[in-house]
Amino acid sequence: MNYNVNEKGYYGKFGGAYIPEMLYPNVEALRQNYLKIMAEPSFKEEFNQLLKDYVGRPSPLYFAKRLSEKYNTKIYLKREDLNHTGAHKINNTIGQILMAKRLGKTRIIAETGAGQHGVATATVCALMGLECIVYMGEIDIARQAPNVARMKMLGATVVPALSGSRTLKDATNEAIRDWINNPVDTHYIIGSAIGPHPYPDMVTRFQSVISEEIKWQLKAHEGRENPDYVVACIGGGSNAAGTYYHFLHDENVNIIAVEAAGLGIDSGESAATSVLGKEGIIHGCKTLLMQTKDGQITEPYSISAGLDYPGVGPMHAHLSKTGRAEFMSITDADAMKAGLELSKLEGIIPAIETAHALAIFEYKTFKTDDVVVVSLSGRGDKDLDTYVKYFKL
């Protein structure tokens, strides 16, 4: 079984590029050039240098002693929360801004929900001196004021999306519209392992530095490169794709994908796409998608803004359907509890997205000598308000 993208841009039956004709030249230019550009020695050198000196890589692989004792197994945390801007998203935006420059683009657009990808994009645009326009739903702009302020401070223009539910999917529609109107000078930096081919593969490759580092770091800790389990939370699926990438074809490494169940799978307020989703097309690719009987996209819900997406990247749809990955869904309540627990046991306040991945230890028992690597995708600073209100701290 192949879990990577094939030459037609598919993972099994998922993926492809379902785009308006007007976008074809842009997406096609990217498709024809991305692997060539990524293989250039000067590209690799610049990418690696920035990951090291600007992002702060390699991120540590930390053995969580007290957490491991509590769950009677060996838990390692891959500390993406220590990256500049506080999450894994910067790995991808660094890669894509270098790609945009090689393609001769001078203007960058992006969509954002919670504002994390918007901040990561505004950051690299400031770094490279490129114009940056971030589309964000009007509702999200109101909910995520600190990140809006960050983007403005970094010199980006934040444009409210006023249509539909005025959240992430509407912001994405606006970004796509912008790209259609500005095909020559503009690159669209997509923030997760989603979108038309080649985006899911390109984003996955930029994020694959996570599993590349896990291999040599685990070798140093445990004397072996492969853990027994890799675990990551899934919104669109970029931190997960990067965490799994170098283990996809090592069948002795078990893959666990954690989705947001919101108030519960059957509550109508959920984002557990692998359970509730049906095959459909969203934002340029065929994947699993939460939708009504007549194909209207269902509003997803999760307490964590970063997991609040009605679809899932095509690679993960394939991992789910083939059974290569075990999918678990975690409710708001369980995630919040796990976030508080990590704070108290290890002195690390995780993002609420990340806390979903940590909550699986209450539901799944591992062997004492199992090595379980969890992607600590981001830090919880942005979520303090939510934690404080939730626990009445």
Ligand X SMILES: *Cc1c(COP(=O)(O)O)cnc(C)c1O
Catalytic residues: 89, 111, 377
The CA dihedral of 45, 50, 55, 59, to the nearest 10 degrees, is 20
Q: Does 87 bind ligand X (CB under 6 A)?
A: yes
DSSP state of 265: G
- Pick the binder of ligand X from 9, 115, 235, 310 (CB under 6 A): 235
Length of the chain: 393
- Pick the binder of ligand X from 74, 198, 354, 372 (CB under 6 A): 354
- Pick the binder of ligand X from 16, 115, 137, 237 (CB under 6 A): 237
Nearer to ligand X, 5 or 33 (CB): 5
Residues 6+ apart with CB under 8 A from 2: none
Q: Does 238 bind ligand X (CB under 6 A)?
A: yes
Residue 252 burial (10 A CB sphere; 0-12, 13-18, 19+): exposed
Q: Does 239 bind ligand X (CB under 6 A)?
A: yes
Q: Which stretch binds ligand X (CB under 6 A): 26-34, 63-71, 238-246, 358-366?
A: 238-246
The CA dihedral of 14, 312, 74, 210, to the nearest 10 degrees, is 80
Nearer to ligand X, 125 or 193 (CB): 193
Contacts of ligand X in 161-200 (CB under 6 A): 192
Q: How far is the CB of 144 from ligand X (least distance, A)?
A: 12
Q: Does 116 bind ligand X (CB under 6 A)?
A: yes
Positions of E strands within the chain:
10-11, 14-15, 61-63, 74-78, 107-112, 131-137, 157-161, 186-188, 229-233, 254-262, 278-282, 285-289, 325-331, 371-375
Q: Does 302 bind ligand X (CB under 6 A)?
A: no
- Pick the binder of ligand X from 16, 196, 198, 236 (CB under 6 A): 236
Nearer to ligand X, 19 or 257 (CB): 257
DSSP state of 283: T
Q: How far is the CB of 49 from ligand X (least distance, A)?
A: 24
Q: Does 274 bind ligand X (CB under 6 A)?
A: no
Q: Are strands 325-331 and 186-188 parallel, antiparallel or unpaired?
A: unpaired
Nearer to ligand X, 193 or 367 (CB): 193
Residues 6+ apart with CB under 8 A from 183: 22, 23, 25, 26
How far apart, in Å, do the first and last CA atoms of the chain sit?
49
The residues that touch ligand X, with contacts defined as CB under 6 A, are: 87, 89, 116, 192, 233-240, 306-307, 351, 353-354, 377-378
